[in-house]
Structure 1
Amino acid sequence: MTDFERKVYRIIFNMTRFGKNPSMEQLKRKTGKDEQTIRAAVKNLMRQRKLMWDKKKRIWIII
């Protein structure tokens, strides 16, 4: 896991702990990166089985 992936993971983890899902705009503001970079990091985290998206509940699941 790269430093940026770890940063995105921690942001998602901390926000979901309090029942909030971070939007793309929030992730852009907190990381200072563009949408493509954030999407690539999230896809890598999903491939590594660190994150899952529950389509029915529309929430992130931290594994």
Structure 2
Amino acid sequence: MRRLMSNNLILSLFSLKMFEIFGCIWRYIAFVSNQNTFLLLTILKNDFITKNFNYKISIKT
């Protein structure tokens, strides 16, 4: 049980780090490209958050 919890912590920290990197790339692309691409990436980013959130819930239950 303890091992599962530590794995969950590592996973959440990793996903947080990935999200930070993704956020930086997302901001950079939005800065250099047009508004349409920015909109598309916003949708992708939101989709990424939702998937991540659902995954964490499924681990806990």
Give the TM interval when normalised to the shorter protein: 0.3 to 0.5
Bigger radius of gyration among the two: 2
Instruction: Tell which has more relative contact order, 1 or 2 (C-alpha 8 A, sep 6+).
Output: 2
State TM-score, norm by structure 2.
0.36
